[in-house]
Amino acid sequence: MSEPIRVVVTGAAGQIAYSLLYIIANGEVFGKDQKLVLTLLDIPPMMGVLEGVVMELHDCAFPLLTEVIPTADPAVAFKDVSAAFLVGAMPRREGMERKDLLSANVKIFKVQGEALNNHAKKDVKVLVVGNPANTNALICSHFAPSIPKENFTAMTRLDQNRARAQIAQRLGTDISNVKNLIIWGNHSATQYPDAANGTANGKPVTDLVEASYLQSDFVTTVQKRGAAVIAARKMSSAMSAAKAAADHIRDWWHGTESGRFVSMGVVSDGSYGIPKDIVFSFPVEIKNKQWKIVQGLKLDSFARSKLDITTKELLEEKEEAMAVCNGN
Ligand code: NAD
Ligand code: LMR
């Protein structure tokens, strides 16, 4: 059994955290032999609710959970953390786009970037879930200059899981047989879910599913799935978001198996002609806790046009976020 690591979950009194904390504390992210100290950050008015969450974590009697620290102080929450799940932010309501949350939420990620910079381990792995996730991750990294940019990521794993589920259902096959679907770009309605490199039972998805579906309903269903969940539940996705956050950090921590790639929002290095310094979802492979963008995949003119649209949106979000953070 290894020494405990410190892991922070923000928005810990909220609905995603309620599902996520169970998965983490049960050893399903960092492994069944990794002891954990969980620090739970929320805002002062939520401390009462958070106390109830702490009681439940204790009552779960998780063998790996050595300590739980609820707090409203980022300096306490981020102290020496090895992994950070940044969930805490306002969710959208019906009729909103995720970028409508930008002005309210981006300031949270400025403060938390500064707190990570001052208190976290320098090799901390950061996952931003709070929306608009890509741009929040960019801002967080910007305000944490002492931590490598590669350590800041945004969640598009939920979109990837949604894409896999759509293809598995269409083909009537087990989801574990569906691999290498890619989410390009922003976690928003401009993202491009791409099946061109996907396989199902080892065969190309493009040989099994009509192109007319892959270029239309498949794309829009995944792009708009978050809104569909909100319309039905009157609240945004929580169980599936928690599962995706756990999948994202588990793969980052333990690596991806050979020949399988996963989608993560990462700071662009210019791959595939995407401008540097926006957080863009790419296919990545992970080894020794380092992700690498999968290179050399073919993009046809349809795919390229979709990437252009989502890139444009991310550049606009970046400009707006910087203006908010600079008080303009
Ligand atoms: P929620 O309202 O249930 O919980 C959010 C929690 O964050 C609340 O307890 C709130 O008090 C807390 N919070 C607010 N400001 C904070 C701050 N400065 N520091 C710490 N905590 C703070 O919302 P939720 O359903 O858990 O969703 C959280 C976020 O995740 C939303 O922005 C939502 O849109 C986003 N989300 C992203 C994805 C994705 O795929 N990237 C998926 C689902 C939801
Ligand atoms: C999702 O994709 O479910 C989340 O980003 C929540 C939302 O606002 O759609």
Task: Give pLDDT tens digits along the chain (328 positions).
Answer: 679 999 999 999 999 999 999 999 999 999 999 999 999 999 999 999 999 999 999 999 999 999 999 999 999 999 999 999 999 999 998 999 998 999 999 999 999 999 999 999 999 999 999 999 999 999 999 999 999 999 999 999 999 999 999 999 999 999 999 999 999 999 999 999 999 999 999 999 999 999 999 999 999 999 999 999 999 999 999 999 999 999 999 999 999 999 999 999 999 999 999 999 999 999 999 999 999 999 999 999 999 999 999 999 999 999 999 999 998 7
Write the residue with the smallest CA distance to atom 8 of ligand 2. Answer: 92
The token pair at 163 is 């894409």
In this prediction, the answer to ipTM > 0.95 reads yes
Indicate the fold that domain 157-315 takes in CATH: L-2-Hydroxyisocaproate Dehydrogenase; Chain A, domain 2 (3.90.110)
Residue 236 Cβ contacting ligand 2 at under 6 Å: yes
- Give the start-to-end residue ranges of the domains of the chain: 2-154, 157-315
What one-character-per-residue DSSP string does 219-255 give? HHHHHTHHHHHHHHHSS---HHHHHHHHHHHHHHHH-
227 CA distance to ligand 2 centroid (A)? 7
Query: Which of 237, 248, 263, 281 best tests ligand 2's pocket when mutated (most atoms within 8 Å of CB)?
Result: 237
The token pair at 213 is 């579906």
Q: Has 98 been labeled as part of a binding site?
A: yes
Ligand found nearest the CA of 226: 2
Q: Residue 290: its pLDDT value, please?
A: 98
Write the residue with the smallest CA distance to atom 5 of ligand 2. Answer: 226
Strands 152-154 and 192-194: unpaired
d(CA 286, CA 28): 18
Q: Which amino acid is at 112?
A: Q
Q: Which amino acid is at 74?
A: P
Rounded to 5°, angle at Cα 85 from 64 and 125:
90
Residue 112 Cβ contacting ligand 1 at under 6 Å: no
Q: Residue 208: its pLDDT value, please?
A: 98
The token pair at 211 is 């192109």
Q: Which residues pair with 282 in a beta bridge?
A: 264
Residue 115 Cβ contacting ligand 1 at under 6 Å: no
Rounded to 5°, angle at Cα 257 from 164 and 310:
45
Question: Hey, CA dihedral for 17, 23, 26, 27, is it positive or negative?
Answer: negative
Which CATH code fits 2-154? 3.40.50.720
Q: How far is residue 39 from each of residues 86, 92, 124, 269, measured CA to CA in Å? A: 12, 25, 14, 32
Query: Which of 18, 39, 90 best tests ligand 1's pocket when mutated (most atoms within 8 Å of CB)?
Result: 90
Q: Residue 2: its pLDDT value, please?
A: 75
Q: How far is residue 270 from each of residues 36, 59, 212, 246, 311, measured CA to CA in Å? A: 36, 48, 30, 28, 12
* CA-derived radius of gyration, the chain: 19
d(CA 87, CA 62): 22
Q: Residue 1: its pLDDT value, please?
A: 67
Q: Which residues pair with 154 in a beta bridge?
A: 128, 265
Residue 7 Cβ contacting ligand 1 at under 6 Å: no
Q: Which residues are catalytic?
A: 187
Q: Say if 2-154 and 157-315 have the same CATH topology.
A: no
Q: Which amino acid is at 206?
A: T
Residue 117 Cβ contacting ligand 2 at under 6 Å: no
Number of neighbours of residue 315 by Cβ within 10 angstroms = 13
